[in-house]
Structure 1
Amino acid sequence: MSKPTTTARFRWLLGIGWIVGTGLTLAQPVPTPGTPILLNDLSAFKPATQNWQIVGTTRAELNKPNTITTEKGTGELANVPLAKAPEDPKNPYKYNLFTIMEHGDIDLELDYMIASKSNSGVYLQGRYEVQLFDSWDNSGWDLHSPRVVDNGSIYERWDPKRPEGQNGYEGHPARQNASRAPGLWQHLKISFQAPRFNANGQKTENARMIRVELNGVVIHEDVELTGPTRAAGFDDEKPLGPIMLQGDHGPVAFRNIRYISYDKPRPELLNLKYAIYKGKYEKEPEYDKTAPESEGASKVLTSSVSRIPNEFLIRYTGTIRIAEPGEYRFNLGVPGGGGMLKINNQSVVAPDGRGNRGKITLPKGDLPFELFYSKFVGWFQPSLGLSVAGPGIREYLISDSVGGNSDDADPILIEASTNTILRSFMDLPGDKNTQGKTIRVTHGISVGSPEQVHYTYDLDKGAVVQVWRGLFLDATPMWHDRGDGSSRPLGMVQRMGAPVLFLTKLASPQANWVTDTTGSGYRPKGYVLDGSDRPTFRYQSYGSIVDDKIRVLEAGQGIKREVTIATPADNLYARLASGSVISPLENGMYLIDGQEYLRIDDAGGAKPIVRESNGQKELLVPVKGKLTYSILF
């Protein structure tokens, strides 16, 4: 049963995605645009050994371990290990690369390409490593026993004085395998908090990985780091340090490196005074005509100054000290009611607004501060939260973090410890229909496997719309409360674009691909299961019966699709892929936008066609009866 909605004038989002019980959501770090590290030359780095090169393009092949090839140009940074690199006992990490820039708190974002069987790492402050590793062959990946060596893991610390077998400690494996295949560009985002030190140089707080995302999947949150990880560039800890890229283990390339440093003093609240008014205030009272229930001073912004459980208003006044002028963004959490925020006598969050966020440009100095929280919806516990972000200041809570009850739903997650099938709606972020809305597949079937490679099939088009590696499905939006019928992939997703018919008739190889099923006689016929509960889909198209069998490749490297058409029509084509760039490789392999490989295993002697259509490339194959191809990602 859903909760009733309030008719109050305060049009707030009640109980929005709460954290730390404050009734508000801190925005997740989004480094872009940030400050780029230019890769026109190596001037952004300390003097480097010859293994580090600025190049125009980089290529690493699936089946050539520890091999990377480059072409001249700029824009990419490649580590090509020297064939006979001499060791230097006085400088064992001489082949690593250090930025001239030194950082404390930082959001870092970059693309990287790892070679087959290769190993590298990104070290924050030159001390704390996020592992880069070819974990594509996930036969060694076990959700119940993940390894710190695998891709995206925070590497372990090392103590040679510990007993044999216990030298490594405090490593933090990635939550799941969100890796792409070697030779594909992968995307890494790190939000890092540096260790804190007092005036005497003593460490008062450990470093933390606040959040790490690999290929769009959160793999770490709020991980404490007690000291430098193994093979760090420095054994000590400091407030500042360079980014270090590991260059002594294997080939790797980087591009699009950007960062945001958070090195400015945080705003402070001073001289806070509060007044509590009893009653149901759905609009701001006239304070000079209304006597408060109680008054006082508080060192923190909190709802706990009121002992009234419901129908009250707390008004805070005081000063906010701004050390760094510029634009500030505020997020006010007022669960079970509404609120208002003024700074420097200007409205930041209005009492009759439609949101709880606001921004304002503030000068340096001590500025007037006013805020109120009116609580009038009974089923919420009182809780007041205020976060702030500004120039050189990561978003943080300027209020306390105590109290509040979360209205978030417990997640409903679907595992795939065996072959698993779930029908649901499936939204395709980034793909829009003609009305500009996100495309929703209304007859989707998601198929999960214990190999941790999964896919969604569109019964309306006979099309694979996405594949992903990692965990299976989040069905919370499908089943929580009234639900909207949709589910979401939990792993690293490779989407295939807006779904279209997989098979169609073309008058010529250059004719436009049809956008709907009109004239095709398309009719879905469901699916049949094999002895391992894996489906083979069946449909009718152009008078033929089509069997569409999709299976996971060995070691979870992708999927293989075998399409069989009984008595195929003349001039029948299959559309295997679309993208901005489709590059032919060796042995029937194609590289699609640097994000997936497509291998044609058996085309019955037909010759594939790469053509341009509506500004995009398309890979087509004439179909005579059977077609087998694999998607490796």
Structure 2
Amino acid sequence: MITSILSARFGGLLSLGCLLGIGLALAQPAPMPGTSVTLNDLSAFVSPTANWQILGGVRADLSKDNTLVTDKGTGVLANIPMAKMPPDAQNPYKYDLFTSLQHGDVDLELDYMMAVKSNSGVYLQGRYEVQLRDSWEIRTPNVHDNGAVYERWDDKRPDGQKGYEGHAARQNASRAPGLWQHIKISFQAPRFNSNGPGGVPQKTENARVIRIELNGVVVQENVELTGPTRGSAFADEKSLGPIRFQGDHGAVAFRNIRYVAYDKPRPELVNLKYAVYKGKFEKEPAYDKTAPESEGATTVLSANVSRIPNEFLIRYTGTLRVSEAGEYKFNLGVPGGGGLMKINNQTVISPGEWNARGQATLAKGDLPFELLYSKFVDWAQPAIGLTIAGPGIREYVIGDGAGGSGEEADPILVEANTNTMLRSFMDMPGEKNTQGRTLRVTHAVSVGSPEQVHYTYDLDKGALVQVWRGMFLDTTPMWHERGDGSSRPMGMVQRLGAPVFFLAKLGSAQTNWPADTTGSGYHPKGYVLDDNDRPTFRYQSFGASVDDKIRTLGEGKGIQREVTIANPPSDLYARLVSGSTISALENGTYMVDGQAYVRIDDVAGAKPSIREANGRQELIVPVKGKVVYSILF
């Protein structure tokens, strides 16, 4: 009996769709785990020149341009420019580094470190450049800055127009030189057929940068590449090409290079047939007891085979032709109702909400396929969208699209063109509360600046929670419909861990930092604004009055925090920062996890110390009335 395949109710259909709108959401590219490029030696590359080295570690000399300080070992690939690097007319890209890997569609993910004022790039297929540059001090990035898709070039064009089709990053998500940055690139190679003149392959589709995520911020999406960018190693375009690292411009280091190559044939739906039944099949349907309203053969999954606007069921049957055996993931979007999908007579997606996911291990060959779409919510536009991802196969849509209800929320964004403050809840990804859920700061104040450097402060603990560069806040979760009271930063975020009280009385420098404010006499006193609407937070603790002033550094390099404590007790300490690894550098500067610098500006002669605490490290300092330090990131 056909009815048995929908014995479960299409339950919970309105719970998500009404709130978030309807649509098939393709998963974002997730290159990890992928394949690692071995950095124990240079064997993964073709004819490397002496400027490229395998090292154990690097750091930037912050007092010198274009200079990296190196340590022996393995795991880091670095370009260390040589004193003499004469140009080679026969090989203008002699000092660049090319992988042995020849890739088509690929997701590439890596860490990189820029020296001060350095410039480099990653060329996909050796032809299409994504800019890597020390753009720390840039407020409005252009096509020469970090995260840009570089411009094409034509000397025949008029002056001022020779460069064209470059794409700057949406915002500056760069870290400071000497800090490790992380980039994810999803690339689609150009497509060709063999029907060109004289049998020469003819391009049928341009290459495309699907997405670039820089330090956790999406800076590029859906960029079409009509041809190679300036500085391409090849004048032509092909289906395959190497990854190329630029080596003739500046000092740069790379680590954790991983990729996923999408070179396997996609599954295909063949011998597809449909039958449309009229009725409201919200529960277990009995459509097989009546004749279908219409039926026939088709080549694509589509809701358009039904002429009934609402209260119908479409049943598709056919064959899924699988060329590559392995684990496959599916995402089914069926707005206004529910869906079910079977492959090889096994349920892959059970009846449920408008968007549902499933996965299955599929053998190579022709497998029976069945999909049901029951539509019974009248205001939703009918559509069928199905995505498939598998081994060597990037997620793609098979169907007529996602459909939509017109109910999707427009983002509610808060800009900081002037000094701006907003109180909200603030979630802390990666930190858990006592129930094991994502930690939520309930007394958060986010402070934005026109310098595009912002921070969040926890009034409940007198703690600096996070700092970030770029755009200010997305308050859609806070204000859309009923909302949940939270906002989220929009730029490149440096989170400072679970918030703890800034000040504590310790019996010694080895005493554990208290987990809460018990016994501290902590009483928040709000804040006062200066003439430029910048807050100074005030509270009382341990019998002392505290002023906590945080200001943006010049050129948007970070923030400076000045905490003044009136009449501090003798055993009072301040915890400046915690991290997995804290390293002392020159001139009172510390590096935290390779992600930020902490600079000691004024601690009234006290001596900071790094200590171990619960498997992490903390930078603490005795308090003598004033603590001034900066976070540069």
Q: Is the 8 A contact 2:191 2:206 kept in 1?
A: yes
Q: Does 1:11 align with 2:12?
A: yes
Q: Percent identity?
A: 72
1:434, distance to aligned residue in structure 2 (A): 2.4
C-alpha deviations, 1:526-556, integer Å up to 9, x for none? 1111111111111111111101110000100
1:386-397 alignment, distance < 5 Å: 386-397=386-397
C-alpha deviations, 1:203-257, integer Å up to 9, x for none? 0000001110000000011110111111111111000000000000000000000
C-alpha deviations, 1:398-457, integer Å up to 9, x for none? 111274334321000000111110000000000112221111100000000111100000
Separation in 1, partners of 2:75, 2:609:
31
Q: Does 1:562 align with 2:562?
A: yes
1:443-482 alignment, distance < 5 Å: 443-482=443-482
Partner of 2:181: 186
Partner of 2:172: 177
Aligned residue-pair number: 621
Q: Which amino acid aligns with 2:12?
A: R
Partner of 1:96: 96
Partner of 1:202: 202
1:249-260 alignment, distance < 5 Å: 249-260=249-260
1:114-193 alignment, distance < 5 Å: 114-138=114-138, 141-142=139-140, 146-193=141-188
Q: Is the 8 A contact 1:562 1:629 kept in 2?
A: yes
1:622, distance to aligned residue in structure 2 (A): 0.5
Local SS of the residue matching 1:356: strand
Separation in 1, partners of 2:380, 2:287:
25
Partner of 2:415: 415
1:334-373 alignment, distance < 5 Å: 334-351=334-351, 356-373=356-373
Q: Does 1:594 align with 2:594?
A: yes
1:310-321 alignment, distance < 5 Å: 310-321=310-321
Local SS of the residue matching 2:72: strand
Specify whether residues 212 and 358 from structure 1 end up closer, same or farther in structure 2 by C-alpha distance, changes over 3 A only: same
Q: Is the 8 A contact 1:577 1:619 kept in 2?
A: yes
Separation in 1, partners of 2:227, 2:19:
31
Q: Is the 8 A contact 1:22 1:384 kept in 2?
A: no
Q: Which amino acid aligns with 1:190?
A: I
Q: Which amino acid aligns with 1:192?
A: F
1:293, distance to aligned residue in structure 2 (A): 1.4
Q: Which amino acid aligns with 2:461?
A: K
Separation in 2, partners of 1:253, 1:496:
25
Separation in 1, partners of 2:487, 2:57:
38
Q: Is the 8 A contact 1:322 1:365 kept in 2?
A: yes
C-alpha deviations, 1:278-314, integer Å up to 9, x for none? 1110234344312211112222101111122211111
Partner of 2:198: none
Partner of 1:4: none
Local SS of the residue matching 1:304: helix
Partner of 1:304: 304
Q: Does 1:238 align with 2:243?
A: no
1:93, distance to aligned residue in structure 2 (A): 1.2
Separation in 2, partners of 1:514, 1:226:
59
1:22, distance to aligned residue in structure 2 (A): 7.7
Separation in 2, partners of 1:147, 1:600:
33
Q: Is the 8 A contact 1:115 1:251 kept in 2?
A: yes
Local SS of the residue matching 1:562: strand
Deviating more after overlay: 347-356 vs 616-625 = 347-356
Separation in 2, partners of 1:510, 1:229:
56
Local SS of the residue matching 1:487: strand
Separation in 1, partners of 2:288, 2:177:
69
Local SS of the residue matching 2:46: coil
Separation in 1, partners of 2:79, 2:399:
46
Partner of 2:492: 492
Q: Is the 8 A contact 2:454 2:469 kept in 1?
A: yes
Q: Is the 8 A contact 1:14 1:335 kept in 2?
A: no
Separation in 2, partners of 1:491, 1:398:
34
1:69, distance to aligned residue in structure 2 (A): 1.4
Separation in 2, partners of 1:618, 1:551:
23
Partner of 1:3: none
Q: Which amino acid aligns with 2:189?
A: A
1:379, distance to aligned residue in structure 2 (A): 2.2
Q: Is the 8 A contact 1:280 1:376 kept in 2?
A: yes
Separation in 2, partners of 1:237, 1:88:
23
With normalisation by structure 2, the TM-score equals: 0.96
Q: Is the 8 A contact 1:121 1:246 kept in 2?
A: yes
Specify whether residues 17 and 231 from structure 1 end up closer, same or farther in structure 2 by C-alpha distance, changes over 3 A only: farther
Specify whether residues 22 and 94 from structure 1 end up closer, same or farther in structure 2 by C-alpha distance, changes over 3 A only: farther
Partner of 1:58: 58
Q: Which amino acid aligns with 1:9?
A: F
C-alpha deviations, 1:486-516, integer Å up to 9, x for none? 0000000000000000011111111111111
Separation in 1, partners of 2:406, 2:265:
31
1:538-549 alignment, distance < 5 Å: 538-549=538-549
Q: Does 1:71 align with 2:66?
A: no
1:76, distance to aligned residue in structure 2 (A): 0.4
Q: Which amino acid aligns with 1:152?
A: G
Separation in 2, partners of 1:389, 1:402:
16
Partner of 1:327: 327
Deviating more after overlay: 525-534 vs 304-313 = 304-313
Separation in 1, partners of 2:13, 2:74:
49
Separation in 2, partners of 1:164, 1:213:
33
Partner of 2:49: 49
Partner of 2:23: 23
C-alpha deviations, 1:96-139, integer Å up to 9, x for none? 0000000000000000000010000011101111100101112x
User: 4+ residue runs of structure 1 moved beyond 4 angstroms?
Assistant: 12-19, 352-355
Specify whether residues 126 and 148 from structure 1 end up closer, same or farther in structure 2 by C-alpha distance, changes over 3 A only: same
Local SS of the residue matching 1:10: coil
Specify whether residues 516 and 33 from structure 1 end up closer, same or farther in structure 2 by C-alpha distance, changes over 3 A only: same
Structure 2, unpaired ranges of 5+: 1-7, 196-200
Q: Is the 8 A contact 2:121 2:245 kept in 1?
A: yes
Q: Is the 8 A contact 1:106 1:261 kept in 2?
A: yes
- CA-atom RMSD in angstroms: 1.7
Q: Which amino acid aligns with 2:185?
A: I
Q: Is the 8 A contact 1:574 1:620 kept in 2?
A: yes
Separation in 1, partners of 2:126, 2:424:
46
Partner of 1:112: 112
C-alpha deviations, 1:135-179, integer Å up to 9, x for none? 1112xx32xxx4101110100011111111211100000000000
Structure 1, unpaired ranges of 5+: 1-6
C-alpha deviations, 1:551-608, integer Å up to 9, x for none? 0001000000011011112211000011111100110000011110000000100000
Q: Is the 8 A contact 2:122 2:243 kept in 1?
A: yes
1:315, distance to aligned residue in structure 2 (A): 0.7
Separation in 2, partners of 1:109, 1:492:
17
Specify whether residues 259 and 229 from structure 1 end up closer, same or farther in structure 2 by C-alpha distance, changes over 3 A only: same
Q: Is the 8 A contact 1:264 1:391 kept in 2?
A: yes
Separation in 2, partners of 1:206, 1:562:
53
Separation in 2, partners of 1:92, 1:352:
58
Separation in 2, partners of 1:338, 1:535:
51
Separation in 2, partners of 1:420, 1:352:
43
Q: Is the 8 A contact 1:116 1:134 kept in 2?
A: yes
Q: Is the 8 A contact 1:15 1:406 kept in 2?
A: no
Local SS of the residue matching 2:486: coil
Partner of 1:275: 275
Local SS of the residue matching 2:222: strand
Local SS of the residue matching 2:555: helix
Q: Is the 8 A contact 2:336 2:354 kept in 1?
A: no
